[in-house]
Amino acid sequence: MVTRAQQIGVVIGLAIVAALTILRASDPQLLRLARDLTFDQYQRLVPRAFENLPVRVIDIDEASLREFGQWPWPRNRIAALVDKLSDMGASAIAFDVLFAEPDRLSPRNVVRDVTGVDPSLLEQLPDNDEIFSQSLSGRPVVLGFGLSNEGNYLPPVKAGFAYTGESPFGAPPAIKAATPLQPQLEANAAGIGHISLNPGASSAVVRAVPLFLSDGKQLYPNLALEALRVAQGASTYVLDGAPDTPNTITRVKIGDFVVPVTAAGELWLYVSPDTKERYISASKVLATGDVAADIKTAIEGSIVFVGTSAAGLQDVRTTALGENVPGVSVHAQIVEQILSGRFLSRPDWANGLEILSIAVLGSFLVILTTFVTPAVALACGLLITFLALAASWIAFVYAGLLFDPLAPIVAGSITHFAATAFRFLVTDRERRDVRRAFGHYLSPSLLYRIEHTRNALRLGGDERELTVMFVDVRNFTQISEEMTPSAVVAFLNTLLDALSHHVIANEGTLDKFIGDSIMAFWNAPVDVSDHAGKAVRAALGMRETLTRLNEGDAFGFGDERQVGIGIGIHTGLACVGNMGAETRFNYSAVGDAVNIASRIESACKDISFDILVSEPTASLLSDCALLEAGALTLKGKSMRTKLFAVVGDAHMARSAEFVELQAVHKRLVDALRTRSTNSRKLVSVAKLKAQVAATGLLQEFYRQISRRAAHFVDEPADRADHADT
């Protein structure tokens, strides 16, 4: 049956799931960053291995700057670099360098700024831009351009475009203007590509590179893509779009290579660790004389990118591996990745799948946490976490697919712990309510049982050995007749509260208060060691407490009236559990053992002693001062029940006075059993010994014992001897 608390828990849990689902659907910056960091970690665990592919970086490094001077170099030197690379058989030469302004180091430009120089002389001086332009002519050189916030210049596009499906021109990032190229360079270049690696990105880490930019009418290819096209001699890019979905790109075909991309035409970078084998110093290519054979071999047939790693030129990017590398290296890695065929992709439906997983798994965890044990819910939550991580990892390693495990895991964890927290808060509140409601009536052991046992508060019981105690106030009818009802209540509260503390202190369970009586039992709902001994110690404590209350006139009766009690204790089998109806029940014990304990308490009046125990209880007491009290026929019982008077605790049992009293009592019992005339004398001796040993507790007991001689007749000797052991 579903409780109201469970219903509220499910509603709150599902509300949290809905909020988390909406949050993931909105995809805030924090979630995107966490997702990116997760994918970065995957690459760090399994980076793309570096392969000796026909891609090289001609590095304008510190050694090159020391050899040929600071950057920028005169363009006749750049032309010489192109000549050498072309002569060595480079399949494409791509410059990750901007040539936006005329070469200020060109002799013609230098002399033009000198006052008094004949203008006709200028035409005779060489122009480095012309030299560089001539070097480009007919060679597979790709020049780069950057984005600009000024002007309206857009470079020419050297390739054609074909596409399937709807128009893709709105898919890539927008370009408004570009850094201009010198006209003669622009005209002679075999290809022109943008060098922007992550335009508009909020993170410094380069994770996905746009292969195209768009002004809405024309696409502008990336430098690396253009270098790959020129190296193959291809003339056209073929773009595949999603059916019936405009402004979407799914993949790009460049010559013999097909590249999967995001909807915006971006390539997810799968980077390899930076290595010196990717780089060739420009100083070695430009060295006077023959170039080393290994350099020629490395360049022949390769796509080479010209860029710089010199620290002062500040072209440094961060990869998913956490490495800071030259920007030109990222362009080279784009081509390496395409040549290797090792791609990463995040399908367009990945977002939908992750959002759906949050909703479904979150709802499942809410139901699970509400209706099963916390341990099972936690185990299932951990299993789901493991499966999400394993699925995401396997998809990455074997298919290059990027699925975010973090959002579902975090959302599931928040849902699980929120539902668990609610459950514990409600459970703790219910436990506090139980303690407040029943703490004054039930023992701590019973409260613990109710709090920690599943279905503890249900009808039913089990049979076990109990030690049952009944306590009754002597002459209560007479006392109550002389008092007002409120005074009677005050009297009972004072007495029963003081007596009941001894039950709880000795690990007993207070069953009920019946008017002026107390019913308690031991060894349920949890096992209690030495339950008979603890019941007797509770009874002895009640005796001492009542004496103190009477001496202090706690009841306001004065010295003329002393309150007395009778206590009966029996050990035997009883059925203990929740008794009553489904809507109202109490934890109690029923059975013959309970009836016998009640009858023993009534027998206290006949025997004239305040604490009596049955023979089964006495057999479990090894350290109490007991005296045989005779065998009585209890109400409702066909057989006589042998009883024992509890005189004191273990300390009294070991005292010399009680040992002497016990010996006299044994002789008295034997005399009563045989109807010996010597019994009267022995009673007198027993009274005297009792006066010394028990401070008068047994005086009335012995005054009445001769009248009860029949209680000792025909008792088997071996049973009678038990009281003396």
Residue 639 CB-density burial (10 A; 0-12 exposed, 13-18 middle, 19+ buried): exposed
The answer to whether residues 631 and 715 touch, using CB atoms and an 8 Å cutoff, is: yes
CA distances from 230 to 99, 142, 535 (A): 19, 8, 100
Please state, in angstroms and rounded to a whole number, the distance separating the CA atoms of residues 502 and 561: 24
Instruction: Give residue 529's pLDDT band: very low, low, confident or very high (50, 70, 90).
Output: very high
Please write the tens of the pLDDT for every residue from 644-656.
999 999 999 999 8
Packing angle, helices 4-26 and 406-438, rounded to 10: 160
Q: What is the pLDDT of residue 10?
A: 84
* Bridge partners of residue 57, in order along the sequence: 279, 305
Is the pLDDT at 19 greater than 70? The verdict is yes
**Lowest-confidence pick of 35-44, 195-204, 259-268, 587-596:** 195-204
Residue 653 CB-density burial (10 A; 0-12 exposed, 13-18 middle, 19+ buried): middle
Q: What is the pLDDT of residue 686?
A: 77
255 backbone φψ class: left, alpha, beta (φ>0; ψ -120 to 50): left
**Lowest-confidence pick of 109-118, 144-153, 521-530, 548-557:** 109-118
Supply the DSSP symbol for 197. Answer: S
Is the pLDDT at 459 greater than 60? The verdict is no
Q: What is the pLDDT of residue 188?
A: 94
CA distances from 13 to 27, 168, 356, 423, 651 (A): 21, 43, 16, 10, 62
Is the pLDDT at 637 greater than 90? The verdict is no
Average pLDDT over residues 606-632: 95
**Tokens 């089990």, residue?**
462
- Residue 539's contacts (CB-CB under 8 Å, 6 or more residues apart) are 469, 471, 502, 567, 569, 611, 646
The answer to whether residues 405 and 33 touch, using CB atoms and an 8 Å cutoff, is: no
Is the pLDDT at 200 greater than 90? The verdict is no
The answer to whether residues 458 and 525 touch, using CB atoms and an 8 Å cutoff, is: no
The answer to whether residues 337 and 267 touch, using CB atoms and an 8 Å cutoff, is: yes
Coil, strand or helix: which one is 621? coil
Please state, in angstroms and rounded to a whole number, the distance separating the CA atoms of residues 226 and 12: 55
Average pLDDT over residues 412-439: 70
Q: What is the pLDDT of residue 381?
A: 83
Please state, in angstroms and rounded to a whole number, the distance separating the CA atoms of residues 72 and 70: 6
Q: What is the pLDDT of residue 310?
A: 85
Q: What is the pLDDT of residue 243?
A: 81
- Residue 482's contacts (CB-CB under 8 Å, 6 or more residues apart) are none
**Lowest-confidence pick of 311-315, 499-503, 603-607, 705-709:** 311-315
Instruction: Give residue 385's pLDDT band: very low, low, confident or very high (50, 70, 90).
Output: confident
Please state, in angstroms and rounded to a whole number, the distance separating the CA atoms of residues 373 and 444: 24
Please state, in angstroms and rounded to a whole number, the distance separating the CA atoms of residues 512 and 504: 13
Q: What is the pLDDT of residue 449?
A: 59
The answer to whether residues 626 and 613 touch, using CB atoms and an 8 Å cutoff, is: yes
The type of residue at 685 is: V
Is the pLDDT at 721 greater than 60? The verdict is no
Which runs of consecutive H residues, i.e. helices, occur in 165-235?
A: 183-188, 223-232
- Comparing CA positions, the residue from 715, 632, 644 lying closest to residue 675 is 715
3-state helix, strand, coil split of the chain in percent (to 5) is 45, 20, 35
- Residue 612's contacts (CB-CB under 8 Å, 6 or more residues apart) are 566, 567, 568, 569, 600, 601, 603, 604, 629, 643, 644, 645, 646
The answer to whether residues 566 and 474 touch, using CB atoms and an 8 Å cutoff, is: yes
Please state, in angstroms and rounded to a whole number, the distance separating the CA atoms of residues 280 and 285: 8
- Comparing CA positions, the residue from 456, 434, 445 lying closest to residue 507 is 445
Please state, in angstroms and rounded to a whole number, the distance separating the CA atoms of residues 273 and 478: 100
* 3-state per-residue secondary structure call for 107-149: HHHHHHCCCCCCHHHHCCCCCHHHHHHHHHCCCCEEEEECECC
Predicted TM-score (pTM) above 0.85: no
**Lowest-confidence pick of 46-60, 64-78, 115-129, 498-512:** 115-129
Q: What is the pLDDT of residue 717?
A: 40
CA pseudo-torsion sign 590, 593, 599, 604:
negative
First to last CA, the chain: 57
Supply the DSSP symbol for 20. Answer: H
Instruction: Give residue 616's pLDDT band: very low, low, confident or very high (50, 70, 90).
Output: very high
The answer to whether residues 365 and 388 touch, using CB atoms and an 8 Å cutoff, is: no
**Lowest-confidence pick of 333-347, 447-461, 550-564, 621-635:** 447-461
- Residue 487's contacts (CB-CB under 8 Å, 6 or more residues apart) are none
Instruction: Give residue 155's pLDDT band: very low, low, confident or very high (50, 70, 90).
Output: very high
- Comparing CA positions, the residue from 669, 646, 648 lying closest to residue 717 is 669
Instruction: Give residue 723's pLDDT band: very low, low, confident or very high (50, 70, 90).
Output: very low
Coil, strand or helix: which one is 471? strand
**Tokens 């009818």, residue?**
477
